[in-house]
Amino acid sequence: MSEPALAPRNAFTGVIAVWATAFVGSIVIGIFAPEEWRIPWMLVGFGAVVLLSFAVQLWYGRTQGFIFRVASSVTGALLLMGIISVGFGLAALIPS
């Protein structure tokens, strides 16, 4: 007797997890990194998010839509980190 096929996991859960990691990472970098080191650390954070995106999608184990899911993860993380970086940049312009 064969086993019934299980429903596949939702692939976009990994995309949302990468976006959440990018959000939390960019906020942490923006708060704790000195102003002159903020952009280099954002680039390091983005590199980590790209590697995380590949790892999550490879862990998922489905070949259908792999490129689309990785591209969605990376593009969303880039936009999210860019918007947060602009926010911290504008906040740095305000004299204290």
pLDDT value at position 72? 96
Angle at 35 between CA 32 and CA 41, to 5 degrees: 65
pLDDT value at position 5? 67
Domain chopping of the chain, boundaries:
12-93
pLDDT value at position 33? 95
Across the range 24-46, mean pLDDT stands at 96
| Chain mean position to CA 91 | 23
Mean pLDDT of the chain: 91
DSSP letters of 59-81? Answer: HHT--TTHHHHHHHHHHHHHHHH
49 pLDDT tier (thresholds 50, 70, 90): very high
The one-letter amino acid at 32: F
pLDDT value at position 89? 92
Across the range 47-71, mean pLDDT stands at 92
Burial 8-36 (b: 16+ CB within 10 A, else e): eeebeebbeebbebbbebbeebbeebeee
- Whole-model pTM: value is 0.85
* 69: pLDDT strictly greater than 70: yes
